């Protein structure tokens, strides 16, 4: 608590502040995997934290960085929303959740982004990684390099999807930093995180981020789960000029995780500075 997280021009700085007096009011989830942090999105002030710097497993929160690098490629003109991304045998072989694109087929970048946000499609995340990085391994190295540039000191990426890997770790604070960076650096692409559903091959694919419907102004960002991590979420809220990012990791169920992040948002949003 009491730390400023600042994200500007791809870099992050931190300065110590006095702890927020009310930051102990929210009880943590009863889980050894639990970690959380709440950050004022306008000032970077940490309003609440619990185990925020302890190593945690990101699961599909990993895809936030996969999309960060995708947005970077879009903004630089390296790719467009209509660029076709081929599906390799390696990408298609990923464990669910996945979109089910067959090897040799391709999907456009716009659909790929929606598939990652809404479906948390592991096959699509790997296909993007291979296209942008040459291989998933090389892309993961780029992910970790970008994490360091953003000030994410406790994060190491080893794949693009968040599927189980003992070398893939992060912290709640680092995930908040990434959430802040996504909004600040790529406002033109950030709207994707609020997408609830999309059509693919004649089917309507709906998302499972229930917090988008539970919190006024919620506009993303990502959920995640593997057995070793528990249920994770990074939630972003933009409400009447106030911006907030809340991270909850290690929930025993999706419902308890969602209830915790909603509780945190409701308690700390009134403390957020208005622009």
Told to judge if 63 belongs to the known catalytic residues of this protein, a careful annotator would answer yes
28 pLDDT band, cuts 50/70/90, is low
pTM of the model: 0.91
Told to judge if 120 belongs to the known catalytic residues of this protein, a careful annotator would answer yes
Choice among 63, 98, 119, 146 that is catalytic? 63
Tens digit of each residue's pLDDT (9 = 90 or more) over 213-261: 899 999 999 999 999 999 999 999 999 999 999 999 999 999 999 999 9
Does the pLDDT value for residue 22 go beyond 50? no
Told to judge if 76 belongs to the known catalytic residues of this protein, a careful annotator would answer no
Determine the pLDDT at residue 31: 75
- Annotated ligand binding at 203? The verdict is no
Q: Which CATH architecture has domain 3-271?
A: 3-Layer(aba) Sandwich (3.40)
Using an 8 Å Cβ cutoff, are 175 and 247 in contact? yes
Choice among 33, 36, 49, 60 that is catalytic? 60
Tens digit of each residue's pLDDT (9 = 90 or more) over 70-82: 999 999 999 999 9
Token match 């945190």: residue? 264
Using an 8 Å Cβ cutoff, are 4 and 39 in contact? no
Please report the DSSP string for 28-75 in residue order: PPS-TT-EEEEEETTT-BEEEEESTTS-B--GGGGHHHHHHHHHHHHH
Determine the pLDDT at residue 2: 53
Choice among 36, 120, 161, 238 that is catalytic? 120
CA 7 from centre of chain: 15
């Amino acid at each position: 608590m009491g730390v400023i997280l600042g994200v500007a021009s791809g870099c992050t700085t931190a300065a110590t502040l006095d702890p927020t007096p009310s930051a102990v009011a929210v009880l943590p989830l009863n889980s050894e995997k639990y970690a959380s942090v709440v950050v004022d999105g306008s000032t970077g002030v940490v309003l609440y934290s619990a185990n925020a710097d302890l190593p945690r497993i990101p699961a599909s929160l990993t895809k936030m960085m996969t999309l960060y690098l995708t947005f970077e490629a879009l903004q630089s003109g390296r790719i467009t929303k209509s660029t076709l991304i081929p599906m390799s045998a390696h990408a298609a072989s990923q464990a669910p959740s996945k979109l089910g694109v067959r090897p040799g087929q391709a999907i456009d970048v716009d659909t790929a982004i929606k598939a990652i946000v809404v479906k948390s499609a592991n096959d699509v995340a790997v296909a993007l990684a291979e296209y942008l990085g040459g291989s998933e391994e090389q892309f993961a190295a780029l992910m970790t390099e970008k994490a360091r540039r953003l000030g994410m000191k406790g994060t190491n990426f080893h794949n693009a999807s968040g599927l189980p890997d003992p070398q893939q770790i992060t912290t709640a604070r680092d995930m908040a930093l990434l959430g802040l960076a996504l909004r600040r650096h790529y406002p033109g692409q950030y709207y994707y995180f609020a997408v609830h559903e999309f059509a693919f091959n004649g089917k309507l694919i709906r998302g499972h981020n229930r917090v988008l419907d539970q919190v006024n102004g919620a506009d993303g960002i990502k959920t995640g789960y593997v057995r070793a991590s528990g249920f994770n979420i990074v939630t972003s809220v933009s409400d009447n000029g106030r911006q907030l990012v809340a991270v909850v990791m290690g929930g025993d169920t999706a419902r308890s995780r969602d209830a915790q992040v909603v509780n945190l948002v409701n308690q700390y949003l009134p403390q957020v500075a208005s622009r």
